[in-house]
A = this chain, B = another copy of it.
C-alpha cells in the first residue's frame, strides 16, 4: 500500500499522489503556525512560544522535534547560561510553507462564496 506525502492531514495513506516514504506533518494543530512563525527567519524557542498564543512548551517541543525529524526545521543549541536554542526553516521547510501558501491561495479563490 502506498503512502501519501503527508503523515496526517490530507489523506493518511493510500492516496494516489504517493511517493515512497516522505512523511510530512502539516495537518496537526501547530505545524502550520510554526512554519508561518519561521517564515521571517531564525527564531529562538521563547520567541516562537510568544508568537503562538495557546501553545504549551510541551506541545511546541513535540511539534518542533517532529519537524526536525522530518527535515523541515534545523535546530541549533548554544551551550550558554541561560541556554539558547534557535530554529530555522530548512529548504524542505520552505517547500512545505510553499504548499501552505498554495492552500491559502486556493482558499482565497474558492471558499469566499458561502
The A interface is mostly helix, strand or loop, or mixed, namely loop
Interface size class of A (residues with CB under 8 A): 35 or more
Copies of this protein in the assembly total 2
In the complex formed, the residue of B with least CB distance to A14 is B33
Contact A36 B10 (CB under 8 A): no
B9 and A27 within 8 A (CB): yes
For A30, what are the chain B residues with a Cβ–Cβ distance below 8 Å?
12
Q: Is A64 located at the chain interface by the 8 A CB criterion?
A: no
Pick from B5, B16, B24, B33: contact of A15, CB under 8 Å: B33
Further pairs besides A5-B107, A5-B111, A15-B104: 13, Cβ < 8 Å: A6-B107, A8-B9, A11-B33, A11-B100, A12-B33, A16-B104, A17-B105, A17-B107, A22-B107, A98-B106, A98-B110, A99-B103, A102-B103
